[in-house]
Amino acid sequence: MLEARNLECTRGDHVLFSNLDFSLEAGELVHLRGSNGSGKTSLLRTLC
């Protein structure tokens, strides 16, 4: 199980995401979508 609660990521003065909550059970997948610079890679790096 992967569980994230109240994640936030900023770049300088720009908030990429905040108050992000989610959980994944074993075998579940997540599909990240968004425009360039929206924080997809930053989210993955934060989780690592």
Q: Give 4-47 pLDDT, tens digit per residue.
A: 999 999 989 989 899 999 999 999 999 999 999 888 999 999 99
Q: How far apart are CA 18 and CA 36, in angstroms?
A: 17
More confident residue, 48 or 37: 48
User: What pTM, to 2 d.p., does this model score?
Assistant: 0.76
Q: How far apart are CA 17 and CA 23, in angstroms?
A: 16
Residue 19 has which token pair? 């108050």
SS3 state of residue 34: coil
